Amino acid sequence: MPSPAPGEVLLRITAVGLCGSDRHQYVEGGIGGEAIERPLVLGHEVGGVIEAGDGAGKHIRDRVAIDPAIPCGTCETCRRGLRHLCPNMRFAGLGQTDGGLQRRLAWPADRMVIVPDGMRDLEVPLLEVLGIGLHALDLASVAPGMRAGVYGSGPVGLVVIRALRAMGVDVVIATDVLPHRLDAAAASGAATTALVDSAGASSPLPEVDVAFECAGEPGSTDDAVRSVAPGGLVLLVGIPETVRASHVAGPARRKELGIRWVRRMADGDLARAVGLVASGRVSLAGLVTATYDLEDAPNAFEALAERRELKIVVTPDPVASR
């Protein structure tokens, strides 16, 4: 049983989403060139109920979603207001910090947000995903009437589509290598979908003003570069499987494109995500397509590795789950 430190609360974990980064660690033994160095509890998309402790406006029995990032708050990067880029950051399920795939977790009270009573426990982990999407939209300076493309329609891509539509942006194209993901992209608001292979699309895709690459694959990045209009912007949201990433240089140079990486979510994005869902502007319904008890987590990770589902959620405390 974890013992909360000063400023922490004890959570009973009700739901944990499995992410593409969890897949990298499960399949590859690490992520971004950083290998797992010790037995590590994964899981950073976490929802739970406070069982003990209070602080930062949180109290026992509050239902919360955690921000998995704990910045140091004192380094130069943090002082510049870029706490989500803190080089000294602790992150749930990464490095030396255990994540949420356990029944209890001690976590800082100021790194979580209270969720509304009407939200299903199974959807709470998706708030972190939506926070990433909102950060990507901020970096893209999206505005109503823009044309966007989403290249890679896994959970992150699907949430980006829904966030774009909520902001009045037309998602003119969504791509993926899996037909069931394209069905979900269309249901999420994409006007057109295209089935591609690992090398990308075999025919030209519609032109867009801004492109969100959400697969971490070279073929997907190439599609984004080729689709975006001259002077446009490509946001790299997906995490590559290798330490190096590549894209077709010719079209990017000739169109003088901006290419920008997206790193997690910034402070305040999780609270914004809660507000958008609570107001009904963004729906998370239909994204969770499989749930597993904690004891069945090995099968959950096999399903994740094979990309059989949209979003997989593990319920460490299934009795408490809604």
Which pLDDT does position 318 carry in this prediction?
Answer: 62
The domain spanning residue 32 has which CATH number? Answer: 3.90.180.10
Determine if residue 123 is left, alpha or beta; phi over 0 gives left, psi from -120 to 50 gives alpha, anything else beta.
alpha
Q: How far apart are the first and last CA of the chain?
A: 23
For residues 59 and 161, membership in a common domain is answered with no
CA distance 254 to 196: 24
Q: Which of 216, 246, 261 is the last residue of a domain?
A: 261
**Do 111 and 140 fall within a single domain?**
no
Which residues does the chain have with pLDDT short of 50? Answer: 320-321
What 3-state DSSP class applies to 254?
helix
**Is position 269 within any domain?**
no
**Is residue 266 one of the residues assigned to a domain?**
no
Q: Report the largest interatomic distance among the alpha carbons of the chain, rounded to a whole angstrom.
A: 58
203: domain CATH number is 3.40.50.720
Which pLDDT belongs to residue 56?
86
Model-level pTM?
0.94
Judge whether 288 and 265 are in contact, CB under 8 Å.
no
Q: Would you state the structure tokens that stand for residue 188, as one six-digit string? A: 């999420």
Residue 320: the pLDDT is 46
Two structure tokens written together for 27: 């399949």
**pLDDT at position 31, please?**
85
What is the predicted pLDDT for the residue at 321?
47
Residue 275 forms part of a structural domain: no
Domain interval for residue 155: 130-261
CA distance 235 to 23: 21
**94 and 153 assigned to the same domain:** no
Domain count, the chain: 2
